[in-house]
Structure 1
Amino acid sequence: MLPRSGDVLHVTRTASVQFLRPIMFRVIRVHDWPTYDGWVWLDGYELNATGDAINRRSIFVQAAGLRQLPATPAMRPNPVRTLRPLARTPVRVG
């Protein structure tokens, strides 16, 4: 499986020995750099349990060891913030 931008992956030791502690990873891009057969360079964000980006990383992994996570409601969407009006008061000059 070759990931695409926006995919959320579960990266474990099966993808690379550096991932003794598995991570969730959101792909920004897949590099077309020459590598060993079956390996790829990925740019993206490491995610916490709620799906928030906590660290930008470039990782070198075996594509066959990656597992794509389905879009679930466990990952909360970006909150929409409403702006409240500014309290404007007159300012005395002079």
Structure 2
Amino acid sequence: MLPRSGDVLHVTRAASVQFLRPIMFRVIRVHDWPTYDGWMWLDGYELNATGDAVSRRSIFVQAAGLRQLRVTPQPRQHTVRPRRPLVRTPVRVG
């Protein structure tokens, strides 16, 4: 599983031994830095129980140990609406 920006993950010891106490983590970016096979660097925010960001972190984790709590919806196609013609009226000067 490759997380995307905006995904909320449950990061536990299965992802890395540094997470004895599991955290919720909202992804900002997945780095393309070279790492060991199956590992990745993530930038994001650690979330509290109510889902508010409490600290910004960079974490080194195994992709197989991550569990998605909330998936970011796919971006919608941009809809172009036809523009209404601009109505101009004369302005009195002076």
Superposition TM-score tier, normalisation by shorter sequence: 0.7 to 0.9
Question: Is the radius of gyration larger for structure 1 or structure 2?
Answer: 2
- Per the alignment, residue 8 of structure 1 pairs with 8
Aligned pairs, how many? 71
- Per the alignment, residue 87 of structure 1 pairs with none
- Per the alignment, residue 66 of structure 1 pairs with 66
Report the Cα distance in structure 1 between the residues aligned to 2:5 and 2:31, rounded to whole angstroms: 11
- Per the alignment, residue 90 of structure 2 pairs with none
CA shift digits 1:44-72 (9 cap, x unpaired)? 0000000000000000000000000036x
Q: TM-score normalized by structure 2?
A: 0.74
Mapped pair 1:42 → 2:47: no
Report the Cα distance in structure 2 between the residues aligned to 1:70 and 1:14, rounded to whole angstroms: 18
Report the Cα distance in structure 1 between the residues aligned to 2:26 and 2:70, rounded to whole angstroms: 12
For 1:71-90, what aligned pairs fall within 5 Å after superposition? none
Report the Cα distance in structure 2 between the residues aligned to 1:5 and 1:49, rounded to whole angstroms: 20
Structure 1 runs, 4 residues or longer, greater than 4 Å off: none
- Per the alignment, residue 53 of structure 2 pairs with 53
Identity of aligned residues (%): 92
Shift of 1:43: 0.1
- Per the alignment, residue 18 of structure 1 pairs with 18
Shift of 1:30: 0.1
Aligned partner of residue 45 in structure 2, secondary structure = strand
Aligned partner of residue 51 in structure 1, secondary structure = coil
CA shift digits 1:4-39 (9 cap, x unpaired)? 000000000000000000000000000000000000
Q: What is the RMSD of the two structures over their aligned residues, measured on CA atoms? A: 0.8
Specify every segment of 5 or more residues in structure 2 that has no aligned partner in the other structure, as ranges.
Answer: 72-94
